[in-house]
Chain A
Amino acid sequence: MILRVHGLMEYILISLFLSRIIHSNIAKRLILILILPYSVLCIYDHYANGNASFSSFLTIIEFFVFIIFIIFFLFEKMRYSFFVPIYQTINFWICVGLFVYFTGSFFYVLLVTSSSKDPNSKNELIIIYGLVTIVKNLILSFALFNDEKEDISHQNELIIPTDINLDNFTQTNNLN
């Protein structure tokens, strides 16, 4: 029960973080909407599997969703951020930390149930997972040392408000 609540809280918090840093409104909405089916899955998993300690299935879904959205965030930054190098922003390093964690732990989560009976492979899995977690924490710590610089975008096009009339004129003969 506690693990599922923890998993759900983790999912909600990371979703909120990603929805805040991604610019695309559709992606933002999708991230927030996906919280609902994930919560339903959590409840279903809780009732279907009882008090089983760890749900590999839910975590895989969580990791998969976040990997996709982090890639989306990176490509969005790559396309629309022209003035401040991406590596000078805190959000980028938080995303890199999470990205490394999700990709590095993906196979661990996938195989942890299968390897639970064998202590040797379980130990190896824990070592790799531990290393990935340390790298993630180092990257997240590094993020805190970054001085965020504002991204400025310039708008050069002349956009005239539609409610003002500049084209209505009659050609009168004023010639003397």
Chain B
Amino acid sequence: MYFLQADSTGISRLMFIGTLAMLTLAIGIIVFVIFHQRKVIRYQLQMKKLEAEKQQILLNASIRFQEEERQRIAADLHDDAGPLLATARLYLNENLVNQEKAQQLQSIFSAKQIIDDAILLIRNISHSLMPPTLKNFGLESATTDLFQKISGSGTLNASARFHDYRERLKVEQELLVFRILQELVNNIIKHSNAGFIHLTQNANGNSLYLRLHHDGKGIVQAEFDKLNHSAQGLGLKNIASRMKVLNGRIFFEIDPSQTYYKVTLEVPKESLV
């Protein structure tokens, strides 16, 4: 405490230097905090920009997918339904009245068969746009039906279990979730060489959870994010854009036991974007 006993000049000098040092220190800390935070904010803005670019890629992918879907429907109608109806028309031409009765009946029967085929074809196209099971009985039935069909094909073991689906999602939400599940299952069948696929559903509060397990070669979240940013993986981009519309989240991971992969969907009830 020697400095406290200094003379008046000493006290003044000490006070001046001390105060100056303390203020310099304080201002230094404040300036450092402000500049460091500005740097962090700039970085965050850059990340946001990248995120916006990613969203743009997803949007483009979604538009591209819609266009491809339209082209597919157009091709189905043009290549299959068109010739069928044209053939039916040929059977029912003006000359039919001049033909013999037996030939007339044969032509009408053939035309009827072709029209039946055309009806079936159009029904298939329509079902591919909106599965009737989904529309009439909901996500649970449509998903179970899908998994039964996959299992029925004999290539892999597929099963689905809904634990808590008393409260149905909106029809649009159900369709989006169903499409995501279809895409995921297709990817698993095509790329993973899995022996089984299992879907589990549960609900908690305002969210619905769906988890797909499979024992094939899957991907983890980092790979999903990477594929989402790349030019490849249109199917995954569609999944991401549909999840965005659902305002939900998707998570790819491998089980800690390393024996199977998991894909988890979190879908909020009634919050379509």
Contact = CB atoms under 8 A, between A and B. Distances in A.
Nearest to A100: B26
Interface size class of B (residues with CB under 8 A): 35 or more
A77 B202 contact: no
Most chain B C-beta atoms within 10 Å of own C-beta, residue among A83, A124, A125, A174 = A174
Interface string A77-97: 110011101110000000010
Interface in A133-151: none
Interface stretch (B28-36, B61-69, B99-107): B28-36
A71 B28 CA distance: 11
A173 B157 contact: yes
Interface size class of A (residues with CB under 8 A): 35 or more
Contacts of B262: 167
A22 to B, nearest CB: 14
Contacts of A115: 8, 11-12, 15
How would you classify the secondary structure of chain A's contact residues: helix, strand, loop or mixed?
Answer: helix
A103 B15 contact: no
Given A77-B33, A171-B198, A174-B157, A104 B8 contact: no
List 4 tightest A-B contacts by C-beta distance, closest first.
Answer: A107-B18, A103-B22, A118-B8, A103-B26
A115 B9 CA distance: 10
Nearest to B27: A100
Given A113-B4, A175-B151, 4 more contacts: A125-B15, A169-B161, A173-B157, A176-B151
B174 interface: no
A166 B15 contact: no
B159 A128 contact: no
Interface in A40-77: 71, 74-75, 77
Nearest to A84: B41
B204 A161 contact: yes
A99 B32 CA distance: 14
Contacts of A113: 4
A107 B12 contact: no
Given A74-B29, A99-B26, A158-B266, A111 B154 contact: no
Interface in B1-54: 4-6, 8-9, 11-12, 14-16, 18-19, 22-23, 25-27, 29-30, 33-34, 36-38, 40-41, 44
A169 B196 CA distance: 12
A2 interface: no
Interface stretch (B74-82, B121-129, B132-140, B205-213): B205-213
B112 interface: no
A104 B18 CA distance: 9
Most chain A C-beta atoms within 10 Å of own C-beta, residue among B30, B41, B158, B196 = B30
B33 A86 contact: yes
Nearest to A158: B251
B30 A124 contact: no
A103 B29 CA distance: 12
